[in-house]
Amino acid sequence: MWTWFYRLASPPNVYRVTGSLAPWFLTLAALAIGYGTIAGLVFAPPDYQQGDAFRIIYVHAPSAWLSLMSYTTMAVAGAIGLIWRIKVAHAVSAAVAPIGASFTLLALVTGSLWGRPMWGTYWAWDPRLTSELILLFLYFGVMSLRPAFEDPGRGDRAAALLGIVGVINVPIIHYSVLWWNSLHQGATVAKLGKPAIDSSMLWPLLSNFLGFMLFFGAVLCLRLRGEVLNRERQATWVREALKP
Amino acid sequence: MSIGPGEAFSLMLRRELALSFRRRDQLLQPLVFFLIVTTLFPLSLSVQLSLLREMAPGVLWVAALLASLLSLDALFKNDAEDGTLEQLALSGQGLTVLVMAKTLAHWLVSGAALVLVSPVVAEALAVPTEAFPVMMLSLALGTLTLSWLGAIGAGLTVGLKRGNVLLSLVVLPLAMPLLIFGAAATDRAISGTNPAGALYLLGALCVLTWTLAPFAVSAALRITLE
């Protein structure tokens, strides 16, 4: 079983598989985001309280979700790399970090754009926003630690360890809504029982969640290809793969 | 000759303390830094006592955070440079135990000293005397936790030439929840409300780091030593 796994995780194989997966992810992501965004921005009724401003949820909520998912992916990939010494896992970890940081930034920007008409300010020191900002700083920490080492292997392992340590922050972000009374609205979708959102608003949102995750998968595949090529630039398979 | 982990711990602790007290200037620097930083706030903001009292928790905690960070840079540096760290890793004793002794020693000479000095600063910031016990307890728990977070950062950056800024970049985000709870506890004590909740959370973070961080630090050191 393990040999099968190691063969799957070998750099040439990863390069090949991600290359064939990326277009699928991209197509499906375009479909899901296309439906979600058009249905969300055009067909969904305006919120009775927030008017049209609520529509930013279709970008904000999926990016906030992905900012957390990327961090977890980064830490899990790093842990796999540390424990089983799989080189590709570190490449995944390195490829995810900038994507996660971008989603975090997107969540912060869309959140503050929403906050302007709703709270009357672009930035409020609300715990949820603050934790998201801390998450961005955590990404910056991991992203600047990795290249600081001259030996890439050590940089990988150090960044992986930092990612695992920082993962403690992810539940803190999640539960900050429960811990502190805050300006930020409570969970809308993930409540048990009937969601507190009408289905005409919910379906586009779920579609965008799915679409964003597929988009994440696509970008991860593309970035991972670049990362693997860069790391294996001395290998003969790279020369063969890149032969015109 | 082999010695048990308990003995290794106490030997290491005594060695670290002896070394620290031989370098008194390094011992005093973070404390002086703490005093100077807290002086900056009244100078730059206001000398109004009511305003100072309101800012005091934040000022005390930010200054404590920066002061501990300053002293953390040296935690493993000397030992890494003269090869002691490698010998410790090869000694057959668990690196986790040795790291615990080192970090505890570091806290005793930096964090505990800071806690003892804090009433002076608090008095200057117009913190009421009744709030001192809670403030000192929160700072004690906070700096204990911080020593561990910093030890992780110091372990990760010890092999780097310009690790100092990176250390802050790595440690400060991790320390932010600590700052929130610590300042909240001090703030509640000053305003006369019950600080128990924030203190419990500080205690929880302290226990969490003391149980998990030693493993992270020794893993970080092994990565650096490889």
Chain B positions touching A134 (Cβ under 8 A) are 173, 176
Domain encompassing residue B195: 5-225
Number of H helices, E strands in chain B: 10, 0
Q: Which of A105-109, B1-5, B171-175, B211-215 has the lowest mean pLDDT?
A: B1-5
| pLDDT grade for A189, boundaries at 50, 70 and 90 | low
Asked if residues B148 and B64 have their Cβ atoms less than 8 Å apart, the reply is no
CA distance A135 to chain B (A): 8
Distance CA B87, CA B153 (A): 21
Chain B positions touching A85 (Cβ under 8 A) are none
Mean pLDDT of chain A: 83
Which of 79-98 (A) contact B at CB < 8 A? 82
Chain B positions touching A75 (Cβ under 8 A) are none
Q: How far is CA A163 from CA A36, A106, A129, A170, B19, in A?
A: 32, 21, 20, 11, 33
pLDDT above 70: percentage of residues in chain B? 100
Residue A177 confidence (pLDDT) above 50: no
Distance CA A77, CA A161 (A): 11
Residue A178 confidence (pLDDT) above 60: no
Mean pLDDT of B7-13: 88
Distance CA A73, CA A84 (A): 16
Residue A2 confidence (pLDDT) above 80: no
Question: Is A134's Cβ below 8 Å from some Cβ in B?
Answer: yes
Residue A223 confidence (pLDDT) above 90: yes
Q: Which pTM does this prediction carry?
A: 0.86
Q: What is the per-residue pLDDT across B94-134, written as a single tens digit (0 to 9) for each?
A: 889 999 999 999 999 888 889 999 999 888 888 888 889 99
Mean pLDDT of B17-33: 85
Mean pLDDT of B185-208: 87
Mean pLDDT of A163-184: 63
Q: Which residues of B touch A (CB under 8 A)?
A: 152, 156-157, 159-160, 162-163, 166, 169-170, 172-174, 176-177, 208, 216, 219-220, 223-224, 226
CA distance A147 to chain B (A): 11
Q: What is the per-residue pLDDT across B67-78, written as a single tens digit (0 to 9) for each?
A: 888 888 888 888
Exposure string of A170-207, with b = 16+ CB inside 10 Å and e = fewer, is bebbeebbeebebebeeeeeeeeeebebeeebbbbbeb
CA distance B157 to chain A (A): 8
Query: How buried is A30 (Cβ within 10 angstroms: 0-12 exposed, 13-18 middle, 19+ buried)?
Result: middle
Q: Which of A216-225, B124-133, B157-166, B181-190 has the lowest mean pLDDT?
A: B157-166
The pLDDT value given to residue A196: 64
With CA atoms as reference, the chain B residue closest to A165 would be: B216
The pLDDT value given to residue A191: 47
Q: Do B157 and A148 touch (CB under 8 A)?
A: yes
Mean pLDDT of B165-182: 85
CA distance B173 to chain A (A): 6
| pLDDT grade for A114, boundaries at 50, 70 and 90 | confident
Structure tokens given for B157: 């950056």
| pLDDT grade for B180, boundaries at 50, 70 and 90 | confident
| pLDDT grade for A116, boundaries at 50, 70 and 90 | confident
The pLDDT value given to residue A202: 82
The pLDDT value given to residue B94: 83
Residue A147 confidence (pLDDT) above 50: yes
Task: Give a three-class secondary structure readout of B194-217.
Answer: CCHHHHHHHHHHHHHHHHHHHHHH
Long-range pairs for A43-49 at CB < 8 Å and ≥24 separation?
Answer: A43/A200, A43/A204, A44/A200, A44/A201, A44/A204, A45/A198, A45/A200, A45/A201, A47/A201
Query: What is the DSSP code string of A54-101?
Result: GGGHHHHHHHHHHHHHHHHHHHHHHHHHHHH--HHHHHHHHHHHHHHH
pLDDT above 90: percentage of residues in chain A? 39
The pLDDT value given to residue A30: 93
Residue ranges per domain, chain A? Answer: 35-40+53-184+195-241
Number of domains in chain B: 1
Distance CA A55, CA A123 (A): 19
| pLDDT grade for A63, boundaries at 50, 70 and 90 | very high
Mean pLDDT of chain B: 87
Asked if residues A159 and B157 have their Cβ atoms less than 8 Å apart, the reply is no
Residue B34: alpha-carbon gap to chain centroid: 12
Asked if residues B119 and B132 have their Cβ atoms less than 8 Å apart, the reply is yes
| pLDDT grade for A140, boundaries at 50, 70 and 90 | very high
Distance CA A70, CA A90 (A): 14
The pLDDT value given to residue A182: 44
